[in-house]
């Protein structure tokens, strides 16, 4: 498989994915490499469904084997939401900080701190043929936003067995443990065997 397309317009996510692949000497194409900016509507009810919608769309549009991910955070004090609506939920606030404050307040009110990040990756190599890879990382919501690295909810998520948020870890450290890297490593394992 010479060319493999990663279907995402999220620059941070693309950088993270390319770094993981580089370690395995695999080159991947991004949407910016192909000057594609349009995306399908993500109307799935699960991470797997949304990933599949995107990887099918990328494959049908370009003819390249394509993979896409859908990720999100599930928070106990919010009844394990926002889940597949993580990006929409974050964008409903006037700033990321306002969103984080609201989540932290909800945690304190409900005395619940548990959370997890989940990633589902769908690989499409033929029409309507998908292979799904999942990654999950458990942890808790911190009592304040901390850290300069990462993106999304990273500043308020403390992975299990850590005392720092994902945003306080370097990209290298985060890529060792993150939900996305777990799923990507499964994908790479599949591609290289």
User: Which tokens hold the place of 33?
Assistant: 């490499």
Judge residue 43's burial from the number of C-beta atoms within 10 Å of its C-beta, 0-12 exposed, 13-18 middle, 19 or more buried. Answer: exposed
Cα–Cα distance for residue pair 88/154, rounded to 1 Å = 16
Q: Which of 120, 103, 96 is nearest to 179 (CA)?
A: 120
The angle that helices 11-22 and 179-192 make with each other, rounded to 10 degrees, is: 50
- The CATH architecture to which 5-192 belongs is Alpha-Beta Complex (3.90)
Q: Which of 36, 25, 23 is nearest to 1 (CA)?
A: 25
DSSP state of 169: S
pTM of the model: 0.88
Q: What is the pLDDT of residues 137-175, one digit of tens each?
A: 999 999 999 998 878 999 999 999 999 999 999 888 888
| Residues with catalytic function | 70
Q: What is the pLDDT of residues 12-68, one digit of tens each?
A: 888 888 888 887 777 799 999 999 989 999 999 999 999 999 999 999 999 999 999
């Amino acid at each position: 498989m010479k060319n493999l397309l990663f279907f995402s317009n999220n620059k941070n996510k693309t950088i993270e994915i390319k770094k993981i692949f580089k370690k395995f000497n695999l080159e991947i194409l991004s949407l910016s490499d192909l000057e594609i900016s349009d995306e399908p509507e993500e109307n799935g009810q699960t991470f797997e469904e949304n990933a599949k919608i995107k990887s099918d769309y990328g494959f049908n549009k370009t003819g390249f084997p394509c993979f896409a991910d859908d990720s999100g955070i599930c928070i106990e004090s919010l009844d394990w939401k926002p889940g597949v609506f993580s990006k929409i939920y974050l964008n409903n606030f006037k700033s990321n900080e306002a969103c984080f404050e609201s989540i932290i307040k909800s945690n304190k009110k409900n005395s619940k701190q548990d959370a997890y990040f989940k990633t589902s990756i769908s690989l499409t190599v033929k029409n309507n043929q998908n292979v799904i890879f999942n990654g999950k990382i458990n942890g808790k919501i911190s009592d304040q936003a901390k850290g300069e690295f990462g993106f999304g909810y990273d500043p308020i998520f403390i992975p299990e067995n850590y005392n720092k948020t994902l945003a306080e870890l370097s990209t290298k450290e985060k890529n060792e443990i993150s939900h996305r890297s777990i799923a990507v490593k499964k994908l790479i394992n599949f591609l290289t065997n």
